[in-house]
Amino acid sequence: MDNAFLPLPKLLELVLPDYYNHRMNRYEHALALYPYFGHSTTAMGIFPPTGLEYIVASMKDLVGKVTLLDLRYERSYQDLKTLSTFIRDNIDLLCISIQWHSCFKQVCDFISQLPHEVCTVAGGYKATQEVEYLFERCPNVDMIVRGEGEEIIKQIVTGVPYENIRGLSYRRNERIVHNEIHALPDITRISFPDRSLRQHDYRAVVYGARISNHTFDTLLTTRGCPFKCKFCTFSLNPLGQKRSYTERPVESVIEELKTVEASVVQLSDDNFFTNPKRSEELCDLIIENNIKKTFIVQARIDIAKYPRLLKKAERAGFKVFIIGIESPHDWILEQLQKGITQQQVRDAFAVLTQYDFYLHGYFIYGNIGETEEEMLCIPKFAKEIKLDSISFQKLRIEKFSPLKEVVEATPGYYYNSSHIGGSVYSERYGHVELKQIRNRIRSEFYDLGQIIHIIRKAIRIGLFSWRDLSVAFPNLPLLMYRLARRKRHKKK
């Protein structure tokens, strides 16, 4: 084709490549930084910073080069001086993901000491919630992306004037400007996370010991949730926007799955089985394409109504089901607008326990009006329905929680509105009392018998092997033997 007929941008690319690259790549080298290390929990260490990788995928073709640093694994860059030198010498755009309530203030302290002369953009769930605090605490942060940032970061790196970028907060003449909210992006048009910049695998590590050879990743097939549980803000973004339930095409999901190298994949949907017909189709395609993975999914008890889907999920490698139960009491389930009853929970688990799924249940304690005796029903009920493991947390009030007005209208109940989070407490059950109750729930559920059951089941369904455990915890067999002897001695 004659160059005379090429569009001007393409002609410039051919004739003046250096000029073209300078104009098209406003930034030469962007650093995507995940600033958590040292204080990270085990769960935070298992999975990659997929949200940040979505941002990288959106901007990688619009900047000269992108480097991704996950400080949980990059020991040399955990040193502030080393990291600052690298940024100062190489980087002209710094993008930081701030996701977690945990360690928020420590992360802000760390970020505030990074080079001030480099253009710095922060984003993520917690950054969106704490825009004003973050600007105040970190004078080197120039911009904050509020909400989902895939489209916003494209506009930043291509030079769209800040005042024209919806969803952006930024500094101008010693003041903070907050632009209008950005519309929620179309999930079907978002690029896959860019996994190519990872410099290591993500593995299960406890106290520095690797407990299996499995590697971990996450993948999103839908966004949003059609249910309206009163305690939940997961279906809202940090700005309070309700994301309607939207699905990616199943072909797109399979295409991405084929690029995932990890052996364990968490499907991060709020409820993977919201549309059972689609879920069954995905299971069929996973089987047909011979995709050999172990899948972790979040679900509601409704899944028990679909035995054919459960069988296919079992064949497709779905092994860990994380199920929100919240409470063993009908009056609390109604208060939380969970849409289920205790008997329905019992009926569902009578079905689910017939399959080779590892079943983990979520519970909430410290609900409005709940007594200590009612809170301590959690471990007993969890064992009755044969849950393999449980996690439980205090009732919390997020910024846009529908429960906020209920707590404020209930005499004797309060919530912590600090930057760390909004846990609910009362005059009868303060933070100390709730902590004691939490410890009792834990000890009454995770007794020796339950721990042995967890180990045996996890080994039986292939989550890890006995060899994995013996390597990670060489004294475990002896410890279990001694605990068993102690338990028998007490019974005598």
Over residues 125-182, the pLDDT tens digits come to 888 888 999 999 999 999 999 988 889 999 999 999 999 999 999 999 889 999 988 8
**Which residues does 399 contact at the CB level (< 8 Å), separation at least 6?**
129, 233, 238, 240, 422
pTM of the model: 0.84
Number of structural domains (the chain) is 2
State the sign of the Cα–Cα–Cα–Cα dihedral 151, 298, 318, 473: positive
149 and 240, same domain (yes or no): no
Range of the domain at 181: 3-188
Report, as an integer, the average pLDDT of 255-278.
Answer: 93
**Is the domain of 136 the same as that of 33?**
yes
Give tens-digit pLDDT for 299-319.
999 999 999 999 999 999 999
Mean pLDDT over residues 324-334, rounded? 95
Model pLDDT, residue 142 = 95
Half-sphere exposure of residue 286: CA atoms within 13 angstroms, side-chain side: 22
pLDDT at 487: 57
Asked if residue 4 has pLDDT above 80, the reply is no
**Same domain? 262 vs 336:** yes
Judged against a pLDDT cut of 50, whether residue 41 lies above it is answered with no
CB 316 within 8 A of CB 292: no
Indicate the helix (H) or strand (E) that contains 216: strand 209-219
Both 241 and 151 in a single domain?
A: no
- Domain with residue 252: its CATH number is 3.20.20.70
Q: Which of 188, 220, 253 is the last residue of a domain?
A: 188
How far apart (Å, rounded) are the C-alpha atoms in residues 264 and 203? 9
For residue 134, the model assigns a pLDDT of: 93
Phi, psi torsion values for 337, nearest 5 degrees: 55, 45
CB 50 within 8 A of CB 256: no
Stretch among 5-9, 95-99, 212-216 having the lowest mean pLDDT: 5-9
* Residues 142 and 270 occupy one common structural domain: no
Whether the CB-CB separation of 122 and 131 falls below 8 Å is answered with no
Lowest mean pLDDT among 101-105, 203-207, 238-242, 350-354: 238-242
CATH number of the domain enclosing 120: 3.40.50.2300
